[in-house]
Amino acid sequence: MKSPVQVTITGAAGNIGYALAFRIASGQMLGEDQPVTLRLLEVPQSVATLGGLAMELEDCAFPLLHDVVLTDDLSVGFQDCNYALLIGAKPRTKDMQRSDLIADNGSIFAAQGRAINEHAARDIRVLVVGNPANTNALIAAANAPDINRRNFTAMTRLDHNRARTQVAIKAGHAVADVRQITVWGNHSSTQFPDLTHCLIDGTPAFELVSRDWADDDFIPTVQHRGTAIIEARGASSAASAANAAIDHMRNWALGTDEDDWVSMAIPSDEGHYGIDTDLVFSYPVVCKDGDYQVVTGLEVDDYMREKFVTTEQELVKERDIVAELLKPAG
Amino acid sequence: MKSPVQVTITGAAGNIGYALAFRIASGQMLGEDQPVTLRLLEVPQSVATLGGLAMELEDCAFPLLHDVVLTDDLSVGFQDCNYALLIGAKPRTKDMQRSDLIADNGSIFAAQGRAINEHAARDIRVLVVGNPANTNALIAAANAPDINRRNFTAMTRLDHNRARTQVAIKAGHAVADVRQITVWGNHSSTQFPDLTHCLIDGTPAFELVSRDWADDDFIPTVQHRGTAIIEARGASSAASAANAAIDHMRNWALGTDEDDWVSMAIPSDEGHYGIDTDLVFSYPVVCKDGDYQVVTGLEVDDYMREKFVTTEQELVKERDIVAELLKPAG
C-alpha cells in the first residue's frame, strides 16, 4: 500500500464539501490504491459542523481513509498538503457589486496562497472552485512564490462536462462518444464552450449539429447552466461540482484518456494561443505522469479569436480589481 | 459493454437519494463496466425537485449513465427493475407513536411490493433503507408473491460499517484490519453489534478490547449512532447511509471479500440460528455470483442468545402491528 497523501478541502462544511469528501475517501479521485488523509478547513464558526461530517466519514469504514483533520487554522489545514481543493468562498449578497465580491474573496485566496507557500508539500496540486475561480487561482499563485505557478489551477471541468452532455443529447449520441470538446477562458458567462475540434463517434461535431444551434442554444445553455440549476433545485450545483472536481484532480494525477483532452484553467504564462501571459485561462490539456500539457497547434479562426478576446478581457478586468493582492509581499 | 440495468431509487429527491444517485451513476455500485438507467421515484409533490437532480446528473457526463427516468408512478418506477433501493419513508413526527409510524409506512411498502410483483424483472434485488427497514422489507416481500422472498433485504450495513470503525479505533488498528464483525437482528436500537467472532489483524477482537467496553460503550454507541449524527449535523445521516447502500448492493451483486463477511437483513425463512422463520433479520452473510449465503456454524453462547431474543422480539412486535399488510391480497 502507498503512503497516505494529504488532501485539503476548504469550505468543507458546505454542500460541495459534503458531496466531495466521501468520493475522495472512497478512492475515486486518486485511485483505489492511494490512502488519503483529509484535512478539512473551515472558518471558525463552521468547524463545529465539520464534526458531523467527520463522524459520517468514520461510519463509512473507508479502507483508504487514513485520517481526518478538522481545523480553522490555515497552517494546519495546508500542512504537507499534496492536493488542495479550494471550495470555500463568500457568496455574492443581494446589494453587492461583482467587483466587491472579487476583492473580498481575493483576500481569502491570498491568505491561502501564503499558507500553501509556507506549509504545503512543494509539489502540491491546487484546484480552485470558489468563485471567481480563475482569478482566485491567480491570486493564490501570486502569494506562493516558492511553488511552481503551474500547480495552481481553476475548475472549468463542470462546464466541460456540461458541454459534452449537451452536444451528445443534440446529436443523439452517448456522452462517451464525444471527444475533444474545449471550454476556453473564464469560468463565467464569458466562457467559450467550443465544438470546433470536437468529434462525435469520430465525426466532426459540426457535421452533426449546426453552427447556429451552437451559437443560439449550446453556448448560452452551457454558459448559464449554473443559474438554471439554481432555479430547478433551489440550491446551487453541489454533487455535479464535486464530481467535476474529482474528474479534474483524477485526470491531473492519473492521466487523461488517450485520443481525448479535458479543459483546465491554468496559468497562461506560456502564452499559448496568444492569450495574455498573466491570467488563469482555461485550455484544452492532456495529462500524463502527474502533469498537464496544453494541446497546441489547433487552428483558430476569426470566430474563435473573437470569443477568446471576450473572455480574456473579462479576466484582465478581474485581475485589475485584485491588483493589490497580486504584488509579492514586501 | 454490457446492456444497461434498471436501478430504481424511491424518495430520490431526499438527501440520501442525492448522495446515492451520483455514486451509482459513477459505477461504484455495480462496477465500471455496467451501464445503468436510473429510475427516480418520488411522491407527486416532489417530482419537480427531481428535475434539478436529473440536470446535475447530466452535468456529470457519466459514461455509464444510460438514461434517467423521473416518475411518481410505481408502474413506471419499477418497470423491468433489476435493483431497487427503497429509501423513501415518512419520518416520525413529534406526537406520533412508533406503532402509528410503522403502520403508516407499511402501506407505502405494501404498494411498492405489489408494483414490484407486477412490473419488475423476476431477479430484482431489493434493498430497503426507509425505516422500519426490516419490517418494511417483510411487507414488500409479502406483497410480491411471484418474486423470490430472498430478493428482499434491509440495510444493516451502516450499522456494520459503524461497528467496524468503532472497534478499529478502540484497538488502535486500521479499519481494513477488522474482519468478521456482525450486526444481528433489527436495524434499530435493539440490534446486536457482535465482536464474538471478529478478528483484528488476525487476532480475536476480545484479546484486544474488553467485554466490558463492548457492553458499556461499543454496543450502545453503534445502536445510537444515528441519533448522535443528528445531534452533530442537525440532519440525519445521508452520505454515510448512501455509502452503506452502495456497499450492500455492490457486495450482493459482485461478491464479498475472501475471508470476510458482511451484515445483511434478509428473510429468516431458513431458520438459521433458531430465529423465528417469518422475519427480516440481520445475519452475517457471504456473497458470491450475485447471491448471498448465511454464515452458518458460528458458536452461539447464552450471552449472544439473549441479545438475539431481544431484537427478535422487537421484530415480532413490529410484524404484529402490520399483520394486515402481510396477508396475500384476496
pLDDT tens-digit series, residues B301-310: 999 999 999 9
pLDDT, one tens digit per residue, over B117-146 is 999 999 999 999 999 999 999 999 999 999
Pair (B161, B133) in one structural domain: no
The last residue of one of the domains, among A107, A127, A154, is A154
Distances (CA, A) of B229 to A68, A253, B19, B236, B279: 17, 34, 16, 6, 28
Q: How many residues does chain B have?
A: 330
Pair (B165, B284) in one structural domain: yes
| B43 interfaces chain A, CB cutoff of 8 Å | no
pLDDT of amino acid B90 = 86
**Are B181 and B167 within 8 A, CB to CB?**
yes
pLDDT of amino acid A48 = 86
Give the position of cell 491531473.
A252
| Domain presence at residue A324 | no
Query: Which residues numbered 228-247 in B keep a CB inside 8 Å of some CB on A?
Result: 228-229, 232-235, 237-240, 242-244
Give the pLDDT band (50/70/90) at residue B92: confident
Residue B23 has pLDDT above 90, yes or no: yes
When divided into structural domains, chain A yields a total of 2
How many percent of chain B have pLDDT more than 90? 91
Please report, as a single letter, which amino acid is at residue A83.
Answer: Y
The C-alpha atoms of residue B282 and residue B264 are separated, in whole angstroms, by 5
Give the pLDDT band (50/70/90) at residue B97: confident
Nearest to B326 by CA among B136, B129, B134: B136
| Domain presence at residue A184 | yes
**Summary mean pLDDT of chain B:** 96
Nearest to B265 by CA among B133, B101, B139, B141: B133
pLDDT, one tens digit per residue, over B275-321 is 999 999 999 999 999 999 999 999 999 999 999 999 999 999 999 99
B234: domain CATH number is 3.90.110.10
Out of A26, A55, A242, closest to residue B28 by CB:
A26
pLDDT of amino acid A93 = 75
| Domain presence at residue A124 | yes
Partners of residue A52 in chain B, C-beta under 8 Å: 229, 232-235
pLDDT of amino acid A329 = 61
Please report, as a single letter, which amino acid is at residue B256.
Answer: T
Pair (A304, A161) in one structural domain: yes
Pair (A141, A16) in one structural domain: yes
The last residue of one of the domains, among A119, A136, A154, is A154
Compute how many other C-beta atoms are within 10 angstroms of the C-beta atom of residue B82. 19
| Domain presence at residue A326 | no
Pair (A112, A184) in one structural domain: no
Pair (B301, B162) in one structural domain: yes
> Which of A40, A49, A59, A170 is best to mutate for the B interface (most B CBs within 10 A)?
A59
The C-alpha atoms of residue B30 and residue B247 are separated, in whole angstroms, by 10
Beta bridge partners of B194: B182
Give the pLDDT band (50/70/90) at residue B329: low
The whole-angstrom distance between A306's CA and the closest CA on chain B is 27
| Domain presence at residue B326 | no
Pair (B144, B167) in one structural domain: no
Active site residue B187: yes
Domain boundaries, position A129: 5-154
Q: In 3-state terms, what secondary structure has residue A181?
A: coil
Pair (A80, A115) in one structural domain: yes
Contact A175 B63 (CB under 8 A): yes
| Domain presence at residue B104 | yes
The C-alpha atoms of residue A45 and residue A27 are separated, in whole angstroms, by 30
Pair (B188, B79) in one structural domain: no
**Are B52 and A233 within 8 A, CB to CB?**
yes
Pair (B26, B92) in one structural domain: yes
| Domain presence at residue B73 | yes
The C-alpha atoms of residue A15 and residue A238 are separated, in whole angstroms, by 6
* Dihedral sign from CA coordinates of A173, A302, A292, A183: negative
A87: domain CATH number is 3.40.50.720
Pair (B247, B101) in one structural domain: no
**Residue A320 corresponds to which cell in the numbers above?**
485589475
Residue B328 has pLDDT above 70, yes or no: no
Regions of chain A with pLDDT less than 70: 328-330
The last residue of one of the domains, among B119, B154, B189, is B154
| Domain presence at residue A329 | no
| A231 to chain B: closest CA residue | B52
Pair (B166, B260) in one structural domain: yes
**Are B10 and B112 within 8 A, CB to CB?**
yes
Model's pTM, two decimal places? 0.96
